[in-house]
Amino acid sequence: MKISMYQASVPVFIRILKNLRAILQKGQAYAEEKKIEPAVLINSRLYPDMFPLVRQVQIASDVAKGCGARLAGLEPPKFEDNETTFAELFARIDKTIVYLETLKPNQIDGSEEKTITMQIRSNTMSFAGMAFLLNFASPNFYFHVTTAYDILRHCGVEIGKQDFIGAL
């Protein structure tokens, strides 16, 4: 059986975004329980030159919706990067999932060779669709979700591998 570009992208992004949301909910509960100002967690970093938790979530959202849109031949929706609370991060993840759910297999399947061109900072990058998904979008998505997980774990939130992977 052959896996489709849709199956390898949209449902995977949705699943991991839901897991990220659950991890963030545990972060919010931890802040409440320990009487920590939520902004402390939201603005925490693993290292001074790394992005804080909020930016990790924003980028994961951007990568997921951007990948789905580009594979479908659509312009990715723009979300303002103005979240400052857990509730706003939940809303962003929810909005990303709602967008991804609008994408249908017939829009994405067959995009293996589609040329995906995008501007990243001052560089224009072009990929074939499958290379874009497997070698660029997916690794970036997982990097930022993992880093968000790591920030919360580093701050003391009791989460583990099962929280990242989610229910099977």
- CATH number of domain containing 32: 1.20.120.450
Within a 10 A sphere around the Cβ of 47, how many other Cβ atoms? 6
Residue 4: inside a domain: no
Q: What torsion do the CA atoms of 140, 146, 148, 153 make, to the nearest 10 degrees?
A: -170
The pLDDT score that the predictor gives to residue 121 is 86
The pLDDT score that the predictor gives to residue 41 is 98
With 0-12 / 13-18 / 19 or more C-beta atoms within 10 angstroms meaning exposed / middle / buried, residue 1 is exposed
Residues 6+ apart with CB under 8 A from 149: 20, 23, 159, 163, 164
Residue 3: inside a domain: no
Q: Which residues of the chain have pLDDT under 70?
A: 1
pTM of the complete model: 0.96
Percent of the chain with pLDDT over 90: 94
Within a 10 A sphere around the Cβ of 73, how many other Cβ atoms? 12
Residue 62: inside a domain: yes
- Can you give the residue range of the structural domain that contains 106? 10-165
Instruction: Tell me which amino acid residue 92 is.
Output: R
Nearest to 141 by CA among 130, 131, 153, 133: 133
Digit-coded pLDDT (tens) for 109-147:
999 999 999 988 899 999 999 999 999 999 999 999 999
What is the number of domains present in the chain? 1
Note whether 44 and 151 are within 8 A (CB).
Answer: yes
The pLDDT score that the predictor gives to residue 167 is 84
